[in-house]
Amino acid sequence: MGDAHDIRSLHWDDVLNAIYDELFTPAFAHNELEPLEALRGGLESDPPQAFGLYTVDPSGSRIGRCIYYPYPEANALLLGYLAVVDGERSRGTGARLLEESRRAWFVSGEYDLVLAQLDDACVFPAANGIDPERRIRFYANRGGKLICGPYFAPSVRPGGERVYDMLFEGSPRALPYTRAGVSSRTVAALLRSQFTMEGDQGVSDNGDFHWLMEAYKEDVSVPLIPVADHRYLHASCVPSRRSR
């Protein structure tokens, strides 16, 4: 894999569209992927509402990309998207992007919590080249932890739908907490910021968001478990939205 580059250095019109189409559109379901113009706006804003890295192979072809979203109110950073072209998967490209982004943004201590959102492989089958179990293994192999609490992703596009039955992963390197858990107040602050920034229409008129926030209203430490134990989390720790 070649060097990783700051994605905000791209010439937007001739490169960003291609990266979006080549890397993200095949890797994420429609309701999980924000529109290109929204992503462009986040990257170009000052201060940025999104930033990330992309990488190329020796021929100059773009083969991987990651996008992060900062949530200053929660001192948190969300890895929104990490994608590698099909022929380069399992060759270290994704791991390299993750490690380089850690060095770029995590070690400064600016963020207390760094998270990724994952489809629950117990709910979402592999389909159309998207394999939730494979993504879970990727984070499990890097020591990832899951927050033992409910999570669903806000709507990220006009007319889009929320994505329910998701998992929240936290990197141990980025968690300055005990191994036992993370602060419920930090998680709640991130959720409030995330749903507000995404413009989710259900925040004020849908009981699901209030149900989600109820899980984090007490000032407690929310337990963490290894990503590899995600089936235990699905069965025992988090009430399913579909069974409420």
Residue 162 to residue 160: CA distance in whole angstroms: 7
Overall pTM > 0.75:
yes
H helix intervals, the chain: 17-19, 36-44, 93-101, 132-140, 184-197, 202-205, 207-214, 230-232
Q: Which residues pair with 117 in a beta bridge?
A: 168
pLDDT grade for 116, boundaries at 50, 70 and 90 = very high
Q: Are 101 and 68 contacting, i.e. CB atoms less than 8 angstroms apart?
A: yes
- The tens digit of pLDDT for each residue in 14-62 reads 678 888 888 889 888 888 999 998 988 898 888 889 988 888 888 877 7
Q: Does residue 66 surpass a pLDDT of 80? A: yes
Place of tokens 């699901």: 208
Of 144, 79, 143, 140, which is closest to residue 105 (Cα–Cα)? 79
pLDDT for res 178? 47
pLDDT for res 172? 44
Mean pLDDT for the chain? Answer: 81
Residue-number span of the structural domain to which 97 is assigned = 4-243
pLDDT for res 177? 46
Average pLDDT over residues 113-128: 87
Q: Does residue 136 surpass a pLDDT of 90? A: yes
pLDDT for res 238? 54
Q: Does residue 135 surpass a pLDDT of 80? A: yes
- The tens digit of pLDDT for each residue in 165-214 reads 899 997 644 444 445 688 899 899 999 988 887 667 555 456 888 888 99
Residue 189 to residue 216: CA distance in whole angstroms: 9
pLDDT for res 191? 92
Q: Are 179 and 143 contacting, i.e. CB atoms less than 8 angstroms apart?
A: no
pLDDT grade for 242, boundaries at 50, 70 and 90 = very low
What's the number of domains the chain is made of? 1
CATH number at residue 74: 3.40.630.30
Q: Which of 2-11, 18-27, 84-93, 120-129 comes out lowest in average pLDDT?
A: 2-11
pLDDT for res 43? 87
Dihedral sign computed on CA atoms, order 236, 151, 27, 7: negative
